[in-house]
Amino acid sequence: MQKLPIDQILPQLHEMIDNCPAVVVKAPPGTGKTTRIPLALLKNPSLKDKKIIMLEPRRLAAVNAARWMASLLGEEVGRTVGYAIRFERKVSASTCIEVVTEGILARRMQSDPFLEGVGLVIFDEFHERSLHTDLALALCRDVQKGGREDLKLLIMSATLECGPIAEVLGNTPVLYIEGECFPVDIHYLARDFEGEIALEASMAVANALRETDGDILLFLPGSGDIRRCQRLLENRREMLDSVDIHPLYGDLPFAAQERAIAPGKRRRVVLATNIAETSLTIDGIRTVIDSGFSKQLRFDPATGLNRLVTLRISAASAAQRAGRAGRVGPGVCYRLWSRHTQNILIPFTQPEVLIADLTSLVLQLAEWGVNDPRKLTWVDPLPFSSFAEGRLLLERFGALDDHGLITHHGKRMASLTVHPRLAHMLLVSQEKGEGALAADLAALLGERDIFRGDAEQVYSSSSDLLDRVESLREWRGSGREVGEKRVDTWLCKIVDRSSKELRSRLGIKDDETLHGVDEVGILLAHAFPERIARQREPGSDRYLLVNGKGGRLSPRSAVRDQPFLVAVSMDGGERGDGMIHQASALTLKDMRKEFGNEFRLRRKVEWDRKEGRIVAVDEEYLGELVVATKPVVPRDEEVLAAVLEGVKSIGLVAFKWTEKAFQFRARIALAGRLFPEEEWPDLSDRSLIDGFDDWLSPCLRGIRTLTDLFTLDILPPLKGILTQEQNRRLDEGFPTQLTVPSGSRISLCYSMDGPPVLAVKLQELFGLAETPAVAWGKAPLLLHLLSPAGRPIQVTSDLSNFWNEVYPEVKRELKGRYPKHPWPDDPWSAAPTRHVKKRMWGKG
């Protein structure tokens, strides 16, 4: 057997496995950790007669690792070494090493919580940190602490930061191994490309074939990009007559995967996903071309599900990919991005547990018997908000009770391999006899859209999902070729396989019966109850959802002018309406039938500011959504409450403020400033508005419209705020009029924040030396002395000074202008008058 770098640490590893509950191994790709370590540990005495389970993050890596280890033993896979992945399992009674994908182990532990007969669980490529990885590790640690002290854990990775995981596992030992790596010459683009990834990558391959030797490994985000790039390269036959092109991704048949990995007689170009980053070793690679993107699991707000989305890779991933070119000799890496972009890459890919939807994880924990995640060991604490949201959704589905404990319905949901939304829909569909339809819908929603993005869409219904179900079934029944221009036939195969698996799990018979829009809409509403929506106006493409958000139908949606719908795929909406990409029409009748216990009746009596009147209706609600309204005659107390709220929203401008009312407030304001100890009420705008319920409500009976409000005399209720004694003192100390020396009674003008004003013709004050005052002499008046024509001459609060210093000048200016009015030389001794000279003489 060929000697590999990992062999040097095997003696240490055996010793640590004997003495420690967990061990961490960090080793680069190509050092042999994935295949050598499990085989070596078969001979470990502490693992004698016990099984080894090894987790791999991808199906292709799991199958390849199992087959390679079996070949090293000279056996067929399924004997000593076997594997279990989705859709396929090859194990036997003699299997000692079973390679599984991460989700398989978590599901298996629910039925075998002590992992009977298992001595070691290996977490390979742990740095990829999927939800399943973190959950499986947390469950394994719980098993260790719950009675299986003999269960061993081994964490393996190429790029893992070992410190945090070692600490979480109780400061477990870490083994490091250095791999051999030759220098790699890295090239960047002048600027990031903006076109299609497959096209840019195909041009980079053509360039690399001219400039380099050896095999080429091209990293692309997903299978769709790989197939498009392969077609573009195969159209360059004049350049590629001596080159073999091999795609490499998880859904390929195994024979095609082997051809991509195995050395060939001609130069190879391998088009791979990030499975070739660390999970697989491909011999002969001298050149790497890196698109800079990968498919990563993220919570997709558009569908409310976890979904693989295309994202920029991390700096650690970029380094791993480049290193693939330096395994057999000096290599070259073409990075299809700029140096600037390289400098701003995130250091490591974020673990899914911090950014994905946790609803499935919450359900699995509940099935495990844990409703508080803090009771388990996590590499990173679960985000509380995401956990709480998942729990609320499961409670709504009836999967959890009020205490967070799993129900019978929840256990059935957990037994399925789909998101809880889809699992709930599938179980509901069985009660309706529509299981086959729900299986197709769940498969369509769980995978990428089968409709080609560049195809002309021909819509046939008011349900985007029914269109896709019908297209899938047309593809099934027509030799798999019909509709190729409209659908992606490769994705149809994947969706069809998922649908068949769901039917098998639930015991659903194949049924190609076509269902209508109503059946599809209700099933989808059970999966997405918070996405039920009502059209804002007839003919509009704008909708309001049960959760209070707004949405606008995409022009590519088949749904048009439907009063109600369920928004299946929707994005955006942080600052406005989101875009509804896929929807299905609903009827109010069906909604009441299916969700009747969630409907609520609420009477709404409110002030309509636009109409300026009271409006009263009974509203039927589903969540935050009003689905129906009916006018009603409100009770008097409902009207009074609505008028008060309306007045509060309008403010004091709702009333006609007479001068008397304004002066009343101003007089009280002055009293409050001068005599704070008497506790005069605060009649400022804010205080009056806040106290409407107390001082205004008795006067609002019978008010129905804005006109009624505006004609209301506000003075009586204002006076009602004062006690009888306060009203008496107000009239006594803060009069509305004052008798001047001429005998005239002149109105005073009070203000909210200044002194009271007396505006009077100066002739009426002859002989008056002291400035008049109110408030028992504490508030001198501000005198506005007027000309005979009533125009202001002087503003003063010192009348004596005016007569002595200012009057002579005023007399010189105005005597000639107003000769009929008295302008005595001595104003002190002159008789005050409001009349002209002639009238005064007539009296003599």
Residues paired with residue 152 on neighbouring β-strands, in sequence order? 120
Q: Write the CB contacts of 654 (distance below 8 Å, at least 6 apart in sequence).
A: 646, 647, 706, 709, 710
Instruction: Identify the residue with better confidence: 708 or 617.
Output: 617
DSSP 8-state secondary structure symbol assigned to residue 487: B
Q: What does the pLDDT average to over 598-612?
A: 83
Sole residue written with tokens 């005659």: 633
- The pLDDT score that the predictor gives to residue 448 is 82
- The pLDDT score that the predictor gives to residue 514 is 73
Q: Write the CB contacts of 261 (distance below 8 Å, at least 6 apart in sequence).
A: 64, 248, 280, 282
CA–CA distances in Å: residue 719 to residues 644, 664, 696, 834: 19, 8, 11, 34
| Phi, psi angles (nearest 5°) of residue 50 | -120, 150
Q: For the chain, what is the mean pLDDT? A: 88
Q: What does the pLDDT average to over 656-671?
A: 92
Token readout for 298 is 């993220």
Query: Above 80 in pLDDT, residue 410?
Result: yes
Sole residue written with tokens 């009533």: 790
Q: How many other β-carbons are positioned within 10 Å of the β-carbon of residue 791? A: 9
CA–CA distances in Å: residue 70 to residues 6, 36, 77: 19, 11, 5
For residue 274, what pLDDT band results from cuts at 50, 70 and 90?
confident
Tens-digit pLDDT profile for residues 289-324 = 999 999 887 766 655 656 677 889 999 899 989 988
Domains in the chain, please, with CATH? 5-176 (3.40.50.300), 184-352 (3.40.50.300), 355-517 (1.20.120.1080), 530-629 (no CATH), 650-721 (no CATH), 737-843 (no CATH)
- The pLDDT score that the predictor gives to residue 457 is 54
Tens-digit pLDDT profile for residues 708-748 = 777 788 889 899 999 999 999 999 999 999 999 999 999 99
| Phi, psi angles (nearest 5°) of residue 373 | -65, -20
Q: What does the pLDDT average to over 436-463?
A: 80
Question: Which amino acid, 193?
Answer: F
Sole residue written with tokens 């304001």: 669
Q: What does the pLDDT average to over 139-147?
A: 92
CA distance 127 to 137: 13
For residue 838, what pLDDT band results from cuts at 50, 70 and 90?
low
- The pLDDT score that the predictor gives to residue 205 is 93
Token readout for 267 is 């130069």
Q: Which of 157, 159, 147, 144 is nearest to 377 (CA)?
A: 144
Query: Above 70 in pLDDT, residue 97?
Result: yes
CA–CA distances in Å: residue 546 to residues 534, 535, 540, 564, 831: 8, 12, 18, 11, 82
The answer to which of 170-179, 450-459, 540-549, 795-804 has the lowest mean pLDDT is 450-459
Tens-digit pLDDT profile for residues 335-372 = 999 999 999 999 888 888 888 889 999 999 999 999 99
CA distance 376 to 370: 8
Residues 48 and 199 sit within 8 Å (Cβ to Cβ): no
CA distance 381 to 373: 8
CA distance 317 to 294: 10
Q: What is the DSSP string of 241-257?
A: TTEEEEEE-TTS-HHHH
Q: Write the CB contacts of 779 (distance below 8 Å, at least 6 apart in sequence).
A: 670, 674, 755, 756, 773
53 SS3 class = strand
Q: What does the pLDDT average to over 139-144?
A: 94
Sole residue written with tokens 């009916």: 630
**The residue count for the chain:** 844
| Phi, psi angles (nearest 5°) of residue 454 | -100, 10
DSSP 8-state secondary structure symbol assigned to residue 539: T
Token readout for 320 is 């791993």
Number of H helices and E strands in the chain, helices first, is 33, 31
Q: Give the β-pairing of 293-300 and 305-312.
A: antiparallel
CA–CA distances in Å: residue 164 to residues 127, 161, 782: 12, 7, 79
Token readout for 625 is 């959504």
Q: Which of 479, 480, 490 is nearest to 452 (CA)?
A: 490
pTM: 0.72
CA–CA distances in Å: residue 563 to residues 457, 526, 534, 571, 588: 23, 18, 6, 21, 9
For residue 482, what pLDDT band results from cuts at 50, 70 and 90?
low
Q: Write the CB contacts of 679 (distance below 8 Å, at least 6 apart in sequence).
A: none
If residue 293 lies in a helix (H) or strand (E), which one and from where to where?
Answer: strand 293-300
- The pLDDT score that the predictor gives to residue 844 is 37
780 SS3 class = strand
Q: Write the CB contacts of 706 (distance below 8 Å, at least 6 apart in sequence).
A: 612, 613, 654
For residue 772, what pLDDT band results from cuts at 50, 70 and 90?
very high
134 SS3 class = helix
CA angle 15, 21, 26 (to 5 degrees): 70
**Pairs from 506-514 (Cβ < 8 Å, separation ≥ 24):** 506/416, 506/426, 506/430, 506/435, 506/439, 508/430, 508/435, 508/436, 508/439, 509/436, 510/436, 511/435, 511/436, 511/437, 512/436, 512/473, 512/476, 512/477, 513/436, 513/437, 514/470, 514/473
Residues paired with residue 298 on neighbouring β-strands, in sequence order? 307
CA distance 470 to 796: 92
Residues 143 and 155 sit within 8 Å (Cβ to Cβ): no
- The pLDDT score that the predictor gives to residue 743 is 92
CA distance 125 to 160: 8
Tens-digit pLDDT profile for residues 5-43 = 888 899 999 999 999 999 999 988 778 889 999 999 998
Query: Above 90 in pLDDT, residue 778?
Result: yes
Tell me the percentage of the chain whose pLDDT exceeds 90: 54
Residues paired with residue 295 on neighbouring β-strands, in sequence order? 310
- The pLDDT score that the predictor gives to residue 451 is 87
Instruction: Identify the residue with better confidence: 702 or 136.
Output: 136
CA distance 66 to 353: 28
Residues 56 and 101 sit within 8 Å (Cβ to Cβ): yes
Tens-digit pLDDT profile for residues 163-203 = 888 988 989 999 988 767 789 999 999 999 888 999 999 99
3-state SS string over 686-751?
HHHHHCHHHHCHHHCCCCCEHHHHHCCCCHHHHHCCCCHHHHHHHHHHCCCEEECCCCCEEEEECC
CA distance 716 to 14: 95
Sole residue written with tokens 């067929």: 76
Sole residue written with tokens 């529509």: 434
Query: Above 60 in pLDDT, residue 841?
Result: no
| Phi, psi angles (nearest 5°) of residue 232 | -65, -40
CA distance 220 to 272: 6
CA distance 85 to 307: 19
Tens-digit pLDDT profile for residues 147-158 = 899 999 999 988
Q: Which of 555, 547, 604, 567 is nearest to 393 (CA)?
A: 547
- The pLDDT score that the predictor gives to residue 839 is 53
For residue 842, what pLDDT band results from cuts at 50, 70 and 90?
very low
Angle, helices 420-432/384-397, rounded to nearest 10 degrees: 0
Query: Above 80 in pLDDT, residue 452?
Result: no
Tell me the percentage of the chain whose pLDDT exceeds 70: 95
Q: What does the pLDDT average to over 605-609?
A: 79
Tens-digit pLDDT profile for residues 224-252 = 899 899 999 988 766 667 788 999 987 77
Q: What does the pLDDT average to over 617-633?
A: 88
- The pLDDT score that the predictor gives to residue 304 is 60
CA–CA distances in Å: residue 747 to residues 639, 735, 780: 40, 9, 15
Q: Is 435 exposed, middle or buried (0-12, 13-18, 19+ CB in 10 A)?
A: buried
Token readout for 522 is 């209700």
For residue 843, what pLDDT band results from cuts at 50, 70 and 90?
very low
Tens-digit pLDDT profile for residues 668-691 = 999 999 999 999 999 988 888 888
